[in-house]
Amino acid sequence: MLLKYAGIVVPIGENDDDRSEYLGVASSSSLSEQSWKEADKDERAFMLPPWSELAYLTLKCAKKSLVEWADKLELDEDTE
């Protein structure tokens, strides 16, 4: 969605720690998806959707990338 609507590519898993975090989130989401599917509508009202943790990780990585880009742009402007 970030690429489609904002033209932003979000790198996830660039280093070992990020990769481990992503794999943990993906595994957790996969496990919670089954519970989500089995729950009825009333139960789901009190549950986080299985994709919420992955969405949070994606936004966290996007913020990190955007901050890094902004810092680089500031440095480039200062050197001109």
Give mean pLDDT in consecutive 10-residue pieces for the chain, a chain of 80 residues: 77 85 88 85 86 88 86 74
In this prediction, residue 80 carries a pLDDT of: 58
Between helices 16-38 and 52-79, what is the axis angle to 10°?
150
**Class of residue 65 by CB neighbours under 10 A (exposed 0-12, middle 13-18, buried 19+):** middle
Token pair listed for 1: 């969605």
Are the beta carbons of 54 and 2 closer than 8 angstroms?
no
In this prediction, residue 68 carries a pLDDT of: 86
0.85 exceeded by pTM:
no
